[in-house]
Amino acid sequence: MRVMGVDPGLTRCGVGVVEGAPGKPLRLVHVSVVRTSPDAPIAERLLGVAQGLEALLDELRPDAVAVERVFAQHNVRTVMGTAQAAGVAMLAAARRGLPVAMHTPSEAKAAVTGNGRADKAQVTMMVTRLLRLETAPKPADAADALALAICHVWRGGAQARLESARLGARSRGGNGQ
């Protein structure tokens, strides 16, 4: 299973692609950061993020995309742009018919370090070890995207099954929002 993890942002959007399966070794396929200028209008920045992610999706052809879940209560100043970059990533995946999952930062940290409150250095160290890299992945910014992709490789199957059960139960119960 090949998974693209996306750590959404307008200034820096981390992208990490990993191959693996639960209980099998992981392999690094790609790591990079899509950047846009803080001086550009927001619509142009969203277009830059979309074009960057679309080029990577078309080149690397992942089986699924995992996007970091953004919370409204954190970083109020930048949260709207982060949410919009996440939306652009989900849209690009949906256009290609790819399943999209969201994982929280704590879930990704817990998946790779065993601790949902691990710091950046711990996450980078474990990502380096799990992918059997000789040096830490560069750019460092994208370690979170790799952690997210690894988290999805390990949790993805289970979560997809839960989600389809939930949707089935909801549509049977007619529980609209």
- Is 26:39 a contact under the CB 8 Å cutoff? no
- Is 4:15 a contact under the CB 8 Å cutoff? yes
Which residue among 18, 33, 46, 130 contacts a second copy (CB under 8 A)?
46
Residue closer to a second copy by CB (options 29, 46) is 46
| One-letter identity of residue 124 | T
**C-alpha distances in angstroms, 91 versus 19, 50, 87?**
22, 9, 6
Catalytic-residue membership of 141:
yes
The footprint of a second copy on residues 26-45 (CB under 8 A) is 38-39, 41-44
Please identify which of the residues 19, 107, 141, 144 carries the catalytic annotation. Answer: 141
Give the binding site for a second copy (CB under 8 A).
11, 38-39, 41-44, 46-47, 50, 70-73, 76, 79-80, 83-88, 90-91, 93-95, 100, 102, 163, 167, 170-171, 176-177
